[in-house]
Chain A
Amino acid sequence: MILTRIAIGIGLLFIVSVVIFGATELLPGDLATQLLGQSATPETVAALREQLGLNDPAAMRYWNWLTGALSGDFGVSLANNRPISELISARLGNTLFLALYAAALAVPISLILGVLAALWRNTVFDRVANAGALSAISFPEFFVAYILILWLAQTGLFPSMVRINPTTTFVDRIYMSFLPALTLTLVVTAHMMRMTRAAIINLMASPYIEMARLKGMSPLRIVLRHALPNALAPIINVIALNLAYLITGVVVVEVVFVYPGLGQLMVDSVSNRDIAVVQAVALIFAAAYVALNLLADVLSTITNPRLMHRR
């Protein structure tokens, strides 16, 4: 059951890598002519093609690229000829740190808010939380980020730029990346809260909840003991989806706060049209996205015994 799902996930990852690699094949002409521009002489184009290995058939280049990527060698950047793995390795850690930080803030907050909103359904709290969440979903990330800068960085409470170097201590790091993490948290929390609320309210209509209510249980106990365990599968799904969303949200937020992460690297490489770096970073992001979705499926299967023992 779970094994087949994992196998499907790996297959999907393979297809994704084909798409990311295949996208370069859409180029009018090829990479070499595109890089050198209109005025290039045929000799320089031929030389570059040789250097980039463009004379091999596509399938072979794909195989080399994929096996390289799997062993951590993504080739060299087209812009400055530095090995891509060197560019990525330090930044990958930073981005992961930011995403985990935001997740650590967002998951408990949104679960608590969602449960409370479901508990106090149709009260002022519920309405305000809902309208607030709907608005927060509609805000562009950079809007949230700049409002936070205006409020919290202006008063000198938190820095608006993140400078991480090898000597930065862990506490400093948490302090410096608080604003980017908070931005991501706000953006993601809204969605997670709404889905948690919806999942619990859906269950509240089922007969066993009514039974519990008729037995005279307290509303909190009903939600925590009876509704929440059954709502776990949808909630886990929502959390994973939003963590996957964090991956893309990170791009904009990193640029706002000048955070030295993968998103920033990707944006810079897109402006330079450094396709090799973009491919590598896109592969990492897409792999994380697929992996998170896979994890969500597996976890929600494990939390639901009926799915585990399907006949």
Chain B
Amino acid sequence: MSFFLWVVLGLAVLFAVAAGLRAVARTTLTGSARTLANDMPLTAAFGILVILIYAFVAIATPVLAPFPEREIVGTQFEAWSAEHPLGTDRIGRDMLSRLIYGARNTVGIAFATTALAFIVGSVLGIWAALTGGWVDQILSRFVDALMAIPALIFSLLLLTIFGTSITALILVIASVDATRVYRLARAVAQGIVVMDYVEAAQLRGERSWYLIRREILPNAMAPLVAEFGLRFCFVFLAISSLSFLGLGIKPPTADWGSMVRDNATLITFGDVTPLLPAGCIALLTVAVNFVVDWQLYRASGLKE
């Protein structure tokens, strides 16, 4: 039970640090950055702080981790000790090191997948809105049909066909999520393509690619960025779930989802260690959600 007190204490410290940093930002920054810091709620500051910490851990992984990711350095399921702060896993690998490497692997793969889904989905969506006619019809009806199947079920079906490797995982999740991005990008772009400046550019004889890149994309950025955050959460959870099911990223590569499954037996003995990777996943998703919530609130103009 005392462990949960530690968790609460840790979160409280994070919140306090976030509040402190926000206060510093409010006094030192100037101009628009200051206005931004001024109307930032505490939850958003917390979210940004957590995201920065994750990014730091993912970049500085080899320096931070005491042991290599795949090396067996002890006996199985050792308890927490000075040498292995979080004990060892099912075959004797250091838990803490794997947790730290997981930040790089899991978050990195989720980020790459989201980026891929985004590029494909938004370019196709904007292109469909711009071209209209039968291109739009065919693409949209196709996407509608794909979206009628629940995402997880469709991913499972595709993974059966293409086998379960990391490349297949990235491509499958990216293509499933690209359909959702397509929907949004098309809806946003439809409001923009009717603007006079787009028509002017078309009359100038600009090509589609130029129109997408220079005229439409900059004006569709705000909703797309918020969607990127949300999409990242969905992709991250989907990849973790698949890894947890043993169909995503597989050991010996350190990954939070598969680490939970690997060590799940410990939970029945009342040990919380397997919950830590799951907690890492939850904390990051909550943080991203807090920031996105704030961005959406700002974009909706409700503050007045």
What is the interface of chain A, defined by CB distance below 8 A to chain B? 12, 15-16, 18-20, 23-24, 26-27, 131, 134-135, 137-143, 146-147, 149-150, 153-154, 160, 244-245, 247-248, 251-252, 255-256, 266-267, 269-271, 273-275, 278-279, 282, 285-286, 289-290
Contacts and interface: CB of A to CB of B under 8 A. Distances in A.
Nearest to B241: A252
B241 A134 contact: no
B241 A290 contact: no
Interface stretch (B53-61, B182-190, B284-292): B284-292
A16 B148 contact: yes
Given A16-B149, A138-B282, A146 B156 contact: no
Contacts of B272: 150
Contacts of B241: 140-142, 252
* Residue from the set B154, B156, B159 with the largest chain A CB neighbour count within 10 Å: B156
A131 B289 contact: no
Given A137-B289, A139-B282, A248-B150, A278 B160 contact: yes
A245 B247 CA distance: 20
15 contacts: A24-B161, A137-B289, A138-B285, A142-B241, A143-B279, A146-B275, A147-B275, A150-B267, A150-B270, A245-B150, A247-B153, A271-B246, A286-B149, A286-B150, A289-B148
Contacts of B233: 138
B268 A15 contact: no
Contacts of A153: 268
Interface string B220-239: 00000000000001000100
B160 A273 contact: yes
Contact of A146 (B152, B240, B260): B260
B136 interface: no
A26 B240 contact: no
Nearest to A245: B150
The 3 A-B pairs with the shortest beta carbon distances in the complex, nearest first, are A138-B285, A143-B278, A248-B152
Which bucket holds chain B's interface residue count? Answer: 35 or more
A134 B293 contact: yes
* Residue from the set A135, A160, A270, A278 with the largest chain B CB neighbour count within 10 Å: A270
A289 B150 contact: yes
Contacts of B289: 134, 137-138
Interface string B161-192: 10110000000000000000000000000000
B237 A140 contact: yes
Contacts of B150: 244-245, 247-248, 285-286, 289
A271 B246 CA distance: 8
Contact of A282 (B156, B268, B275, B285): B156
B274 interface: yes
B281 A140 contact: yes
Nearest to B282: A139
Interface in B247-299: 247, 257, 260-261, 264, 267-268, 270, 272, 274-275, 278-279, 281-282, 285-286, 288-290, 293
B157 interface: yes
Contacts of B268: 149, 153-154, 160
B232 to A, nearest CB: 11
A143 B7 CA distance: 15
Contacts of B160: 269-270, 273-275, 278
* Residue from the set A15, A24, A142, A278 with the largest chain B CB neighbour count within 10 Å: A142
Contact of B278 (A142, A271, A278): A142
B63 interface: no
B158 interface: yes
A128 B48 CA distance: 21
Contacts of B261: 142
Given A134-B286, A138-B285, A140-B282, A15 B156 contact: no
B270 A15 contact: no
A143 B156 contact: no
Nearest to A279: B157
